[in-house]
Structure 1
Amino acid sequence: MADKQKSELAIGDEIHGFILESIDLLKEYQGYGYFFRHRITNMEVYHLANEDRENFFSFLFKTPPVDDRGTPHIIEHCVLAGSKRFPVKDPFMTLLKGSAQTFMNALTYPDFTAYPAASPLEKDFNNLFAVYA
């Protein structure tokens, strides 16, 4: 089944400035993992391709603390407080109420912060992605 999902991509291919560095067979997910790195920003993207109808993404940022005041967690909340593109007081709560999302959160860990979301509907997933991005 996983063999049917392997794309025609090859190591070294470039898509929108991202270079494909590795392809992994992920038997437990019945699919393939594609690791890309942006040639200018060095941003890393890992894409899992399989037949699961759930669409999921997570933005992760390194946020090592410099002290114990909780600055990364405060920043996590500030990031979710709206933007020029989405000028609502609390876009996170707006999405929770009006989205078909199956998972949406923001999580602060000891050395990184994650902003994950998921939806089985492609249009809703793309909207979540646009708000988070």
Structure 2
Amino acid sequence: ELSTASLAGRFSVIGFVATYDVASQAEARFLAGLLRDHTPRINAALLVLEAIENRPLVEAFAATLKLPYPVALADAPTIAGEGPFAGLHHVPSVVILDAEGREAFRHVGLITQEALEEVLRGLEREGARRAR
């Protein structure tokens, strides 16, 4: 289960994907690399925008890619582009939450590990400036 409580305390990078999308597979691997290189600085998770009936596909997707982070099925409002991630129903997409669980960055489309690292560095610098 993914919740703001389970992700609190550090930046959380959440990928929005679908099992049928090759770019989503690439995004899932980019997030795995990001987590590998930046643990314990960040959290990572995957939210699959598919119906609950596709749970076996989602489990196979996660197992095949050997994903080292939580993978969850989105609820119906999230799949429809509603809820806390309003307007986000395209795959792949990535959202970064700050340590308090607020959305700090959103990208629609494939984004590489290197690009995400640059975004995180910028968010960390911004947070350090605000803390002064």
Higher Rg of the two aligned structures: 1
Bin for the TM-score computed over the shorter chain: under 0.3
Compare the two structures and name the one with the higher strand fraction: 1
* Larger relative contact order, structure 1 or 2 (CA cutoff 8 Å, min sep 6): 2
After TM superposition, the score normalised by the length of structure 1 is 0.26
